[in-house]
Each structure stands twice: as structure tokens, then as C-alpha cells.
Amino acid sequence: MQDNGLKWLHKSSVVVDGYNPGLLEPISRSMARGSLNHLNFFGCDIWQAYEVSYLMPSGCPKIATLTFKLDAHSDNVVESKSLKLYLNSLNNHMFKDEEAFYKTITCDLRPILGESFSLEVTYPPFAPIINTLPLADWNCLDTLSHQGIEIPTVPDQNVLNVIDDAQVSEKLYTMLFRANCLVTNQPDWATVMIEYEGSTWDKSALMAYLISYRNHQGFHEQCVDRIYSDITDMLNPKALFIQANFMRRGGIDITPVRTNKEDFEFISGRDWRQ
């Protein structure tokens, strides 16, 4: 068969042949945190996997979705492509019941994620309506005039600045955030939500800072760790909450949350692009 100029048509990929927990790969959080000044945050990472299936004793497939909640200070995260391959390895594996499926995944992930994660498995019928992110009372940075904004070629916390000592409480978001996967260099898009209390920030500078991640290579969690640390370093807010809803890639989306509030609440709902 001729390729007809289709460059990637015949490129091979990893073939998963049967259940294989050995596919899972840990990534230490300490790998990217050594250079950060502020790690005294609370938070979590929400992982949602949508392409999940296994076989029932009859041989008929069963589909599900998975939701992981992982403490932001766990020693490791699981590398997302390895998780995707692992989930694929379950597709033709037979489980006697739903409990056996749940226990298998929990036992396979526990050595990597420790005790600080929870797992929820959802089966059809799924919720008919999935709420979008409740952004009606949040201010969109994307509507700011971009004229005159100098965007660094790499993330630089020094562009961030306070413009007024007047104390405010603001909810801000952007849908323009993009970084690149540390492993594959594929683009990762996100809606980043930032709520703070404290002195008034220069929002154009904040926008330039967030856009500067456009060619930065880093995992989702690493990017949000750094944003939290840089903002804390330069803007010193009394209260700070950051949630980044990353777009689904490979059937998995990841939403890190970082905050200095111990009693924080994850903002449920999905970006419309998810």
C-alpha cells in the first residue's frame, strides 16, 4: 500500500497485548520542585479517564469511566501515557465482577501513588448533562487589550507586579494557556482559573506571564506548581487558589488544584473543550 504522502500513516505505536501492570511508570514530584520557593500549598490532582473497558465472564465488554483524586504532596504521579497503555491492557482482560476490576486498578496504582489517592469507577447510564465550569462571575483575562503586552519567550516571574496596595478580591481566568508535554512535546491546553485576595495585580502582566508557557515543556502538575510559587513569590497574596482544567488527550484529562486554603473546594464542571 502506498502512503500517498501521509507522513504518519504507517508509523508504529505501542501494541498492548494483555493485562500488564508493568506498563505503569511513576514520576517523582521532586523532579521539578527543587527550584521552587513556595511549596507550602494544599491541593489535589483530579484525573479523569474516559476510554475504559474490560470483559465480563460472558466475554461481553463493559465500559466505564475512572476518576482519580491524588493529594498534591504525594511522592509520585503516574506518567499519563503509561496509564493510557495500562488501561488499554485491561480491554481484553476478564474480571468476575465490578469489585474485582476496582481492586485490581487500586492495587496496581497503590505502589506508585501511595495511600493518598482515591478512585471512583462510574458505569452507564452516565449523567445526561455535564455542567460546564461556572465562570459567570469570573473575569476573563482574554478580553484584555493585548496591545503593548510584551510576552516573554520563557516563563519569567519577574514580569508579575502589583499596581496598587488597595486590597481586592478577584476571580480571573484564561482559556489561552498552553504548555508542552515533557515527554512527547505535544501541546497541552488548559483553562486556568486564579482567585486571590490581596493587593491589586497588573492583569496584563499576569496574562503575559501565563501566555509565556506556550513553548515551555512541563507536565500539567509541574506547570501549576510553578505558577503558584511564582505568584506567591512576586505578588504575595493573602489568599490564592489556582485550578487548571487541562484538555483531554489520549482519553484522559487532568485538573491540578493548588491553594493556600486548607479547606479548599475543587470547582466541578468541565471546560467546553473537554
Residue spans of the domains in the chain: they are 21-122, 139-259
The yes-or-no verdict on residue 134 having pLDDT over 60 is: yes
Question: Catalytic amino acids?
Answer: 181, 188
The yes-or-no verdict on residue 3 having pLDDT over 70 is: no
Average model confidence (pLDDT) for the chain?
92
Fold of 21-122: GTP Cyclohydrolase I, domain 2 (3.30.1130)
Identify whether 111 is preceded by a cis peptide bond (ω within 30 of 0): no
Domains 21-122 and 139-259 share a fold: yes
Whether 103 and 95 have beta carbons less than 8 Å apart is answered as no
Fold of 139-259: GTP Cyclohydrolase I, domain 2 (3.30.1130)
The yes-or-no verdict on residue 93 having pLDDT over 50 is: yes
145-183 tens-digit pLDDT: 777 778 899 999 999 999 999 999 999 999 999 999 988
30-62 tens-digit pLDDT: 989 999 999 999 999 999 999 999 999 999 999
The yes-or-no verdict on residue 10 having pLDDT over 70 is: no
pTM value is: 0.93
- The residue-averaged pLDDT of 113-126 equals 94
Supply the pLDDT for residue 5: 58
Supply the pLDDT for residue 1: 42
Per-residue cell: 244: 487548571
The yes-or-no verdict on residue 9 having pLDDT over 90 is: no
Task: Give the torsion sign (CA, 141, 239, 213, 81).
Answer: negative
